[in-house]
Chain A
Amino acid sequence: MKRTLLCIILLVLPIALSAQTHRQQQGTIVRMRMTECLGPQHGFMATMSGDAKGETGQLCPEYVLVADKVVYVINGKSSEQLIPLAEETRFRLHKNEMLIRIDDAAKESRFRIKAMVLRPEWDRNQMLEEAESNAMATRHLDPSTIREQ
């Protein structure tokens, strides 16, 4: 009986994990910039051969997408691969790529995942950046700073 149960768990676990990865999630795109496109060679072999960047000279969009628990940095594969900057973006993960269905497009668009950061860490960094920026602005208007100058 125990052995049967173990077999069932071993069979079901990968399916459950896979389902977790494939389920639809949603997030918000908070940053966007155009950056060098990554060439087709962008993987383990490219890294080992010392040609990890594989830049093509073209510019591709790079987005920061903030989801519930993770913040993703994703890259489009061409300059035309632009995501509408709606408040909410629905996506799912599949084989180290993020799949986003844009509007009513027939196929999902595939984006490379460049980096992932846990949400609390990202939030903390954002707060630090904001505090630094506010401090700089306050310093500009501080009467003591004015006297120093």
Chain B
Amino acid sequence: MATPIPCRRPWPLVTLFLVSAGMAPASAGNPREFTYRTDAAEVRLTFSASDQSHHGVANLQPSDFAVVDKDIIVRNFQSFTRTDSTKLEIAILFDASGSVSPHFRQETADVLNLIAQTAGIPDENLSMFSFQEMQPALLCAGNCRALRAAGQLPTGRAAGLTPLFDAIVFASDYLSRRGDAHAEKVLIVFSDGVDTISRHSLRDAVDASLRSEVQLDCIDLNQRSTASQGPAVLRGFANATGGRYFPAPDGGIRALNAILEDFRTSYSVSYRLPSRAAGFHAVRILPTHNRNLQFRSRSGYYYPNRVQ
């Protein structure tokens, strides 16, 4: 049933296709106002499959798996396809705050090394953010390799407060507006998982990633002996969004390899929305026959409590 091909990382993505139902202009001075009404009719979920040896499964069939969507088991799919490997949008989130100063040199080396290894990804699909003090900032978009080659990427010194959650919200929002709607969006987060100043909460950061369909792959900059909550935070990000957690050093390269390998065995499935219950729809993919199959996808999606 399954031809394993080398792959380590599976991953995910869920999309609600919105079907519009009305429209109208809303210009100032015009008494008539149009209301846009939409109804989510279909769920699209991107996932990858691997066998018990963690090798990607290249010939998965729709009958090999079922989706559990808010407790309801879905076996009838409207579409099932392999994902298009040209649609991969990658962003790197680079922690330059004071909390990572002991590991900053290593982090910088890892990030630059990672950019050097992204040869298979078009330059326009690569961007990089940094955060320290109060604001996250976009370092480069579409020209990261050129800046790296010219030695112009700011890698000065780590200092200041750590708005990690704000930075994830910012980067997720940015990625959601990049590329086409069906592109796979991955944010590689270099961090110790510590946040000291964000206006957004941990929950906000997870929700922003889920809403923007961004997968978080987290590279933990902590030493193994650390007693901080950081690793748990990073693992939580990865698990909720269908990404993976990698300890440093070399976590960046391993994450990138996993993303690319995984991409060769990722699939996209769509199905009718099984329940219109508002709120979070937890999603899980499970095998129908072969219990050795493992699936990785994002943990769910939000269905609005009022259709807008």
CB distance from B305 to the nearest CB of A (A): 10
A31 contacts which chain B residues (CB < 8 A)?
71-73
Chain A residue nearest to B306 in the complex (CB): A140
Is B286 a contact of A82 with CB atoms below 8 Å? yes
- Shortest Cβ gap from A2 to chain B (Å): 54
Given contacts A32-B71, A102-B291, A140-B37, contact A84 B21 (CB under 8 A): no
Please give the distance in Å from A140's CB to the nearest CB on chain B: 4
**A127-144 Cβ-contact flags toward B at 8 Å (1 or 0):** 000000100110011010
Q: Are B37 and A29 in contact (CB under 8 A)?
A: no
- Binary flags per residue of B280-293, CB closer than 8 Å to A gives 1, else 0: 00000011111100
Chain B, interface size: which category? 20 to 34
Q: Provide the bound-state CA to CA distance between A103 and B1, in Å.
A: 15
Smallest CB gap from A145: residue in B: B37
Given the interface contacts A133-B275, A137-B39, A141-B37, does A85 sit within 8 Å of B72 by beta carbon? no
Q: A22-33, CB under 8 A of B: which get 1 and which 0?
A: 000000011111
B303 CB to nearest chain A CB (Å): 11
A119 to B21, CA, bound (A): 37
B186-239 interface (Cβ within 8 A of A): none
Contacts of A7 in B (CB 8 A): none
Mask, A13-46, CB within 8 Å of B = 1, is 0000000000000000111110000000000000
A85 touches B66 (CB 8 A): yes
A86 interface hit (Cβ, 8 Å): yes
* Min C-beta distance of B61 to chain A, whole Å: 13
Can you list, as one digit per residue, whether each of A68-96 has a CB less than 8 Å from chain B (1) or not (0)? 00000000000000101111000000000
Partner of A82, one of B275, B276, B291, B306: B291
A window 92-118: CB within 8 A of B: 102-103
Q: A5 within 8 Å of B by Cβ?
A: no
A84 pairs with B73, CB closer than 8 A: no
Q: A133-B275, A133-B276, A140-B37 are in contact. Are A87 and B75 (CB under 8 A)?
A: yes
Residues of B participating in the A interface, judged by any CB pair closer than 8 Å? 21-22, 35, 37, 39, 65-66, 68, 71-73, 75, 275-277, 286-291, 306-307
Q: Which residues of A contact B (CB under 8 A)?
A: 29-33, 82, 84-87, 102-103, 133, 136-137, 140-141, 143, 146, 149
